[in-house]
Amino acid sequence: MKITFIDGSSKEYQQGISALEIAQSISPSLAKKAVFAKINGEDYDLTRPLGGDASLELVTKDAPEAFSVLNHSCSHLLASAVKKLYPASAFGVGPAIEEGFYYDINPGAGIKFTEEDLPKIEAEMAAIATQALKFERREVTKEQALVIFENDKYKQEIINELEDGAVITIYKHGDFIDLCRGPHVLSTKMLKHFKLLSVSGAYWRGKSDNEQLQRIYGICFFSDAELQQHLEILKERAERDHRKLGRELGLFMISEYGPGFPFWLPNGWVLRRTLEEYWFKIHTREGYQLIQTPIMLNKDLWQISGHWENYKDNMYTSEIDKYEFAIKPMNCPGGILVYRSKLHSYRDFPLRLGELGMVHRHEASGALNGLFRVRYFTQDDAHVFLTEDMIESEVAELIRLFDEIYSTFDLSYQIELSTRPEENYIGTVEIWDKSEKALANACRKAGKEFKLNPGDGAFYGPKLDFKLRDSMNRIWQCGTIQLDMNLPERFDLTYIDEHGEKQRPVMLHRAIFGSLERFIGIITEHYGGAFPTWLAPVQIKLIPVKNDFHLDYVKKVKELLFKEGLRVEIDDREEKLGYKIREAQTLKIPYQLVVGDKEVNEQLLTYRKYGSTETNTVFIAEFIALIKKEIAGFGKDN
């Protein structure tokens, strides 16, 4: 049989040879680095026999996909250890995730995992890993699979959903068998460098009306050095946890009287308002018309939009004048009503309506997490109405805007293009193809690469998702550009074209922050609470050495700085100077100004920047000029 390699070369091999044997024939070192193979684009275990002519790509340890296969294999190792320690366990799913893996498990009646159980499970995993047990793949029928997993109701449920006659694969290492598509690493020997991280509750298949299982999270690396480096990052992340910093810096709080409903504290409110002002400034410059729509609207509107049918369980409702109303879970229908309030011509397009709209969604209590998962939040929504031939240029302009805003916060990103689902989509294939091509061309026009995410578009249209990477190397889904073929049809939206005829507009949904609350949580951790000067709730802390001699001058300086639009506070408490300086550092205030005899006598200011031990003494006008220059450049070199 002929095997073609990724460089275009090919070679004849005996039928039934494996990718591992081919790798060994090329180079023993290549075989050691290989984790799995792609045969005609399909993922294969290294030891799986090849059935005929094929293209071959060997995926080595340095590839991101190899990390995913390693971690999925480690989820099997976890499950086998749990099964040995807790024989009554039943298993849900155990996928690889962005950073590691998890497994959803029912450990048996009366058993609940805690963090204290993790070391015991880790010890059993380590013992199994040292046995170098091979991952053995086997194909079975649906009937055989049901017999193999007869004591695991979760696996039975998954199997019963498969088509009759489907080929099902199972994987075995030692005595443990799991339902899995694969591929896997060669043996448990490759799974030595792992760590279990946490345990939490998780509803079976993510549905709150299902049974709650226990989810154990972990991570695995190819080397101990990589594992230790990651564990150090996790320690730093814990220090940067926005819930911890939110308390320490006075940003926000959550009350037991409103789970999932954050309260903004004084410093947090200033931070939020600064972010909003930045948003307003940018969008006014970009030609957006800014609107605000009601927070509660009649049920009839949500029925037209489809939210009532598909989202009712996540909506808060109330009765007003004997009519049923719902608090909005999304801003789109309100924006559409604004569009419909007047006739539109093609000359109005692209019509950009922007809104910082507060929405409410009933999230499960177990899913709530600081500012990351809340029950009310503010979306930085925009709905753009345009003609089909404007899609490419408008999306390219949107990508430029996204790029400007994310770079302001030193956040890198990648773009994913999600295309037409295989089923349950609206519109014709031709319109979908045209729309997907327009989004792809817009990325190219903006000079941005993108990753294809086949079949993951919304039912109403394709979309671009923006995945941000923060300073802790985490990925966040924030921005999105979604092309909507559904709502313009449902609401019978029209415009008058150049021939005086009614046409259906194209609608783009667009969010950059995604949610102000969540974005503030992200940047709080990204900066570790040390916000750049333009964004910091308190930009300057004035500290008199002695109140009796220096406080009057400090008050005059504060007045001058305040008139320049700077956010400044005085620490005039009767505390030791060193204590007040250390506290200003702890609160991560960008500039601390200590005022003593020299400053008063010569009308000077001595400042120190957060994170530095160096002090500088300048005239008041010089200090104002330098800090305003920094703020104008958003903390970057001009």
Per-residue pLDDT tens digits for 479-514: 999 998 889 999 999 999 999 999 999 999 999 999
To which residue do tokens 């450049």 refer? 633
Give the pLDDT of residue 635.
Answer: 42
Tokens of 111: 């058993």
Q: In this predicted structure, what is the pLDDT of residue 313? A: 87
The owner of tokens 């490419």 is 392
332 among known catalytic residues: yes
Q: Where are the domains of the chain?
A: 2-60, 65-231, 252-293+331-526, 295-328, 540-632
Residue whose structure tokens are 């409702």: 317
Task: Check the CA dihedral 230-235-241-243 and report its sign.
Answer: positive
| Annotation says 379 is catalytic | yes
**Looking at domain 2-60, which of 3.10.20.30, 3.40.190.10, 1.20.58.220, 2.60.40.10 is its CATH number?**
3.10.20.30
344 vs 132: CA distance, rounded Å: 69
pTM score, whole prediction:
0.83
Backbone angles phi, psi at 328, to 5 degrees: -65, 130
Q: Name the H helices within 27-63.
A: 28-33
First to last CA, the chain: 62
74, 83, 379, 571: the catalytic one is 379
Which tokens go with 479?
A: 């921005």
Among candidate residues 76, 173, 420, 509, the one labeled active-site is 509
Question: Which positions ≥6 away from 447 have C-beta within 8 Å?
Answer: none
Q: In sequence order, which residues have a C-beta less than 8 Å from that of residue 554 and are 6 or more positions away?
A: 542, 543, 544, 570, 572, 595
CB atoms within 10 A of CB 374: 23
Contact 483, 440 (CB under 8 A): no
For the stretch 29-58, pLDDT in tens is 999 999 999 999 999 999 999 989 999 999
Give pLDDT, residue 163.
Answer: 87
Mean pLDDT by 10 residues, the chain (638 residues): 90 93 93 95 94 93 95 98 95 93 93 95 97 96 94 93 90 96 96 96 85 95 96 92 95 95 97 96 96 96 89 91 94 96 96 96 86 94 94 94 95 94 84 90 93 88 93 88 90 96 95 96 95 97 95 96 96 93 94 96 95 93 95 61
The one catalytic residue among 74, 180, 220, 332 = 332
- pLDDT tens per residue, range 181-193: 999 999 999 999 9
- Cross-strand pairs, 569: 541
> Cα separations (Å) of 284 from 174, 281, 288, 352?
64, 5, 6, 10
The two three-digit tokens of residue 21, written as one number? 């044997």
Q: Return the sign of the alpha-carbon dihedral for residues 536, 539, 545, 548.
A: negative
352 noted as active-site residue: no
Neighbours of 3 (CB within 10 A): 19
Bridge-based pairing of strands 168-173 and 176-179 is: antiparallel
> Given the structure tokens 């998780």, which residue do they identify?
202
C-alpha distances in Å from residue 126, one per residue of 85, 90, 218, 224: 13, 21, 13, 13
Confirm whether 61 is a catalytic residue: no
Among candidate residues 76, 243, 463, 541, the one labeled active-site is 463
**Contact in structure between 59 and 30 (CB atoms under 8 Å):** no
Please, which residues bridge with residue 101 across strands? 96, 218
Please tell me which residue in 195, 383, 510, 518 is annotated as part of the active site. Answer: 383
Q: What CATH superfamily is the domain 252-293+331-526?
A: Bira Bifunctional Protein; Domain 2 (3.30.930.10)
* Cα–Cα distances in angstroms (integers) from residue 57 to residues 8, 47, 50, 333, in the given order: 11, 14, 13, 48
Q: Are 76 and 94 in contact (CB under 8 A)?
A: yes
| Rounded Cα–Cα distance for residues 385 and 401 (Å) | 17
23 backbone dihedrals φ, ψ, rounded to 5°: -60, -40
383 is catalytic: yes
Average model confidence (pLDDT) for the chain? 93
CATH of 540-632, one of 3.40.50.800, 2.60.40.10, 1.20.1250.20, 3.40.50.720: 3.40.50.800
Give the pLDDT of residue 207: 80
What kind and span of H or E run contains 267?
helix 266-285
What's the gap between Cα 567 and its chain centre?
31
H-helix or E-strand containing 412?
strand 412-418
What is the DSSP annotation of 78-92?
HHHHHHHHSTT-EE-
Position of tokens 């005059």?
Answer: 556
Question: Positive or negative CA dihedral for 324, 328, 330, 331?
Answer: positive
Helices 547-563 and 620-632 cross at an angle (nearest 10°) of 40
Q: How far apart are CA 65 and CA 59, in angstroms?
A: 8
- The CATH topology of domain 65-231 is Threonyl-tRNA Synthetase; Chain A, domain 2 (3.30.980)
Phi-psi region of 250 (alpha: psi -120 to 50; beta: other; left: phi over 0): left
Name the residue type at position 468.
L
The residue from 38, 242, 272, 361 that is catalytic is 361
Reported as half-sphere exposure (CB side, CA atoms, 13 A), residue 477 has a value of: 8
